[in-house]
Amino acid sequence: MYKVFIIIVSDKIYNQSQNMHIFNYLRFKLSKIRLLTYHYSESDLYIQQLAMYSTASSFDVQKENRVLSCNTFRKTMATEFFPYNNLSATQKWPTAFNWSNFDIHVDPHEDHESKFKFNKSSCIGSAGSCFAQRITQSLQSHNFNYLLAEQPPTFLPHSLATEYNYGVYSARYGNVYSARQLLQLFDRAFGEFTPTLGAWKTKNNTFIDPFRPRIQPDGFESEEEVVIDREVHLRKTKDVFTNSDIFIFTLGLTECWIDSRDGAVLPTCPGRGYGNFDESIYKFHNMSFNETYEDLKNALLKIRSLNPTIKIILTISPIPLVATMTSNHIVTANTYSKSILRAVVGQIVQELDYVDYFGSYEILTNCYRNHLYWEGDMRTLNNTALDVVFNSFYKYFGNPHCQVSGYICNEENSDSNTKSLETITIDCDEDEILKHLSRR
């Protein structure tokens, strides 16, 4: 035998799906229930719903034959069934930011705590793609204890030091774009890998190091000089991994060129005055998720084994690929590459408690805000972009006592060797490809 039990749910029509959740809840609680009618009142935009249930249910009809409040059901349902109920505002898209105001900057680290902090006494080393040079510049400008393991010779004027890659990173390794480059850099520094490739001869009859082709603008006089300078460099690279309290690494690319004789990864495609391209030796390769994951994790495990207290910050360059050797459109090729890097970093951050991630990539490539940050070529960041990124960076990772903000410090007591924002340039191997293509 059935009796009618009436539920009046005072809810706007656009929330009617929640009303159905109530009936689903009742179906779960009662042995038999079916919906009699589902009325829409166009005049007041409210819904009335009627249901029938069985008296065979454990539900006591005599006691519960009354009008039930929608809010009561919602509260019960949230408590029993809805794990999302306790999410913070920044965990939900509608409340994370004021999306309708396109002049408000998006900070994915707002109201979140980093795994660790650094201060001005922390010894900080870094490496990575072109964008990583911004981190070096900012840390030095704000007088952090940035590790410069490889110092310029005393006879080299400071004005020329940067041209010879001194102070660009903690050592003169040039740009390190991929996880495998970082792994091989570590292995080379500690004698675990010696590439077959020794030196490239330039059109000016000088020689350059294939693994850091842009560190010596006029090249070395001989192959022997390349080897001697490389030995010094790798000793200093060991110091970076050994002595850093914090190591920051920025991943940039999955596409790379490999020496097929031994698997050595190069920072750029040979040619254009940087060696000669030999298709029997140099092979293009686009790293997969598994390859990138294994390379990066192995590199970080080796660094941590050497330096048991080191903390590592990973970032991903927001700068898009300048060109792709895949058959894909440059947009989809760039998305693939950055997606692989972001997924790998996300996985490793979950696995290793001494590794954290800084979302400069998310800040600067957010499609709802990118008009604020990029020049017309969509590869060049403006000053606003850099200030927004480093405000977030120092707020997230910096000790509260640091009181640091912005990309470049404008205070009078800042390091006098730091260049002004207007004179800072970035050395990027990919830009050489653009220059070559523009001359064709």
Average pLDDT for runs of 10 along the chain of length 440: 43 45 52 41 37 40 45 56 86 88 87 95 96 95 96 90 94 97 98 97 93 94 97 98 98 97 96 88 98 98 98 97 96 98 98 98 86 89 93 93 80 48 62 64
Q: Mapping DSSP to helix (H, G, I), strand (E, B) and coil, where does residue 287 land?
A: coil
Q: State whether 135 and 48 are in the same domain.
A: no
What pLDDT is recorded for position 61?
39
Provide the 10 A C-beta neighbour count for residue 254. Answer: 26
Q: Tell me whether residue 353 is in a domain.
A: yes
| Per-residue confidence (pLDDT) for residue 400, from 0 to 100 | 81
Q: How far apart are CA 296 and CA 287, in angstroms?
A: 12
Residue 56: its pLDDT value, please? 39
**pTM attached to this predicted model:** 0.79
List of long-range contacts for 82-87, beta carbons under 8 Å, 24+ apart:
none
Does 144 lie in the same domain as 60?
no
Identify the pLDDT of residue 26: 52
Has residue 260 been placed in a domain? yes
pLDDT, position 298: 98
Angle in degrees, 0-180, between the axes of helices 289-306 and 223-243, rounded to the nearest 10: 70
Do residue 133 and residue 64 come from a single domain?
no
The reply to whether 279 falls in a domain is yes
Residue (of 248, 273, 253, 172) closest to 216 by Cα position? 172
Q: Could you tell me which of 139, 133, 109 has the C-alpha nearest to residue 249?
A: 133
Instruction: Check whether residue 160 and residue 56 sit in a common domain.
Output: no
119 assigned to some structural domain? no
Q: Note whether residue 97 is domain-resident.
A: no
Residue 35 belongs to domain spanning:
2-86
Within this chain, do residues 16 and 161 fall inside the same structural domain, yes or no? no
* Cβ count within 10 A of residue 170: 26
Helix (H) or strand (E) holding 47: strand 46-54
- Residue 80 belongs to a domain with what CATH number? 3.30.70
- The reply to whether 26 and 136 lie within a common domain is no
- Give the C-alpha separation, 240 to 128, whole Å: 13
Indicate whether 415 and 326 sit together in one domain: yes
Number of domains comprising the chain = 2
Domain assignment present for 338: yes
Question: In terms of domains, do 80 and 128 share one?
Answer: no
Alpha-carbon gap, residue 165 to 181, rounded angstroms: 18
Q: Note the pLDDT of residue 275.
A: 85
**Helical residues (DSSP H) of 45-153, grouped into ranges:** 61-64, 70-81, 93-96, 132-141
Q: Supply the pLDDT for residue 21.
A: 55
Total residue count of the chain as it appears in this document: 440
Whether 107 is covered by a domain: the verdict is no
pLDDT of the residue at 104: 83
Same domain, 356 and 212: yes
Q: Which of 86, 116, 139 is the last residue before a domain boundary?
A: 86
86, 107, 136 - which closes a domain: 86
Q: Of 346, 317, 193, 327, which Cα lies nearest the Cα of 254?
A: 317
Judge whether 409 lies within some domain.
yes
Which residue in this structure is represented by tokens 């924002």? 421
The Cβ-side half-sphere exposure at 401, using a 13 Å CA radius, reads 4
